[in-house]
Amino acid sequence: MLAFQRVAWLLASMSSAARHMKLDPVQWVSKRDSSLPLWIENYCGEVVYPAILTQAGSGPSATGFRLNPGDLQRFTVRPNPPGGANGNGAACLTGDCGGVVKCTLAGWPPATLAEFNLKTSSGQAFYDISLVDGYNLPMGVFNLFNQTNNPHLRDIPPNLTNPICIGSPGLLTNPSNAPDKYLGTNTTYPIPLEQQNSVGDVSKWCPWDLQVLPPSKPANGVYPYPDDSIDRPAFAPCYSACAKSGSPSDCCTGSYGSPSTCHPSTYSRNAKAMCPDAYSYAYDDQTSTFIVPQGGGFGVAFCPLGRSSNILATMGKQLQAIASRGDALQTQSRIRHNNTAPASSEAVTLLSQGMGFTCLALLTTIVVVLISARIAKM
């Protein structure tokens, strides 16, 4: 029997991305297309098997499909009464969703999240990549604004809107290796990237006690201290402190349920260093939430190659201006030719070692979207 390994989630809610997004939206009114594109792209070295569930609105007609390495699947979603789909059984090592391939509920952590709130009363869309529930697979989000009939969206440069999180050493490249375009950007509008982390940093960022798959003990059966001399597996999912302990202090609940009482853990600080644009704990809103005029679709890329983005710290003010006024044309001259370069697209080798077959489960709606990926080991 195959044992399935889920490796990533994409999640959104209608209530301002309920758990993580706490920013007060800036008022904006824009034209929204009746249906929005949603693309799923597989840059991993393994096959992925998406399973699709629609919670609200009309989702894709396909409820499950095979997505080979390098393949792209295009869908559209639109608001309608909610629907759903059933699935067959499986047992997951991470991200299990009740033992089904076609998920009908959220999965168990650890799981990389991309959260979308695509329809709000303010006329804005909110989205992010979150590591609050842990990390298991690199992820990138890219806008599909060129597919919309809203001119304000089409004018927004992609290097403001396409976050990337790479916490796996096999996908990290030297920042000096720069192709002409990366996840929809180009040399005119390059994505600002994190520049400091080495392969060694990315290999060991997960705190030792939060590893899902810790390395085997040496011959004497005792881990040396410090543990830096032990090679970790190429595929190394990581629990968040909250997912592992469930404690109020780690999960920002109870008496710790406010920004003044809940502070980032070692996991959160390390995760933020690896992925500056990703949520690292529950109150990491200001440096993690992307806000744009609503009406456009998005794509999700699994296993993007390169380096993590650092958009919000570098060009957050420009994005805020666009979110509040739709002022894309006036800010473009300040966004062109950012001095940080996209990463190389050299071949991936490390991450795919020992991964087996990969499965992906996807839940889509106009306002509620959930994507997961699982690895099947023989």
Give the mean pLDDT of 276-300.
89
- Residue 254 scores a pLDDT above 80: yes
Q: What is the pLDDT of residues 321-351, one digit of tens each?
A: 877 654 444 444 444 444 443 333 322 333 3
Write down the pLDDT at residue 378. 40
User: Are 158 and 262 a contacting pair, CB within 8 Å?
Assistant: no
3-state SS, residue 293: strand
Asked whether residue 182 is assigned to any structural domain, the reply reads: yes
Query: What are the backbone dihedrals phi and psi of residue 354, each rounded to the nearest 5 degrees, phi first?
Result: 75, 15
Asked whether residue 208 is assigned to any structural domain, the reply reads: yes
Asked whether residue 169 is assigned to any structural domain, the reply reads: yes
Q: Which residue would you say has higher pLDDT here, 249 or 105?
A: 249
Task: Provide the token pair at 345.
Answer: 């697209």
Mean pLDDT, the chain, integer: 69
For the chain, the domain total comes to: 1
Asked whether residue 242 is assigned to any structural domain, the reply reads: yes
Asked whether residue 220 is assigned to any structural domain, the reply reads: no
Q: What is the pLDDT of residues 131-178, one digit of tens each?
A: 998 998 888 899 998 888 777 788 888 889 999 999 988 777 776 664
Percent of the chain whose predicted confidence (pLDDT) is above 90: 19
Give the mean pLDDT of 201-207.
90
Residues 343 and 284: their CA atoms lie apart, in Å, by: 26
> What does DSSP say about strands 164-165 and 139-143: parallel, antiparallel, or unpaired?
antiparallel
Question: Confidence band (pLDDT; 50, 70, 90) for 248?
Answer: very high
Containing structural domain, residue 275: 3-214+225-377
Asked whether residue 179 is assigned to any structural domain, the reply reads: yes
108: left (phi > 0), else alpha (psi -120 to 50), else beta? Answer: beta
Asked whether residue 76 is assigned to any structural domain, the reply reads: yes
Torsion of the alpha carbons at 250, 255, 256 and 260, rounded to the nearest 10: -160
Asked whether residue 219 is assigned to any structural domain, the reply reads: no
Q: What is the pLDDT of residues 52-72, one digit of tens each?
A: 555 555 656 665 667 788 888
- Specify the pTM: 0.77
The CATH number that applies at residue 95 is 2.60.110.10
Question: Which class for 286: exposed (0-12), middle (13-18), buried (19 or more C-beta within 10 A)?
Answer: exposed
Question: For the residues of 172-205, what is the DSSP string, one character each?
Answer: B--TT---SEETTEESSSPPPB-----HHHHHS-
- Residue 235 scores a pLDDT above 60: yes
Cβ contacts of 52 within 8 Å, gap of 6 or more: 59, 60, 62, 63, 64, 75, 85, 102, 361, 362, 363, 364
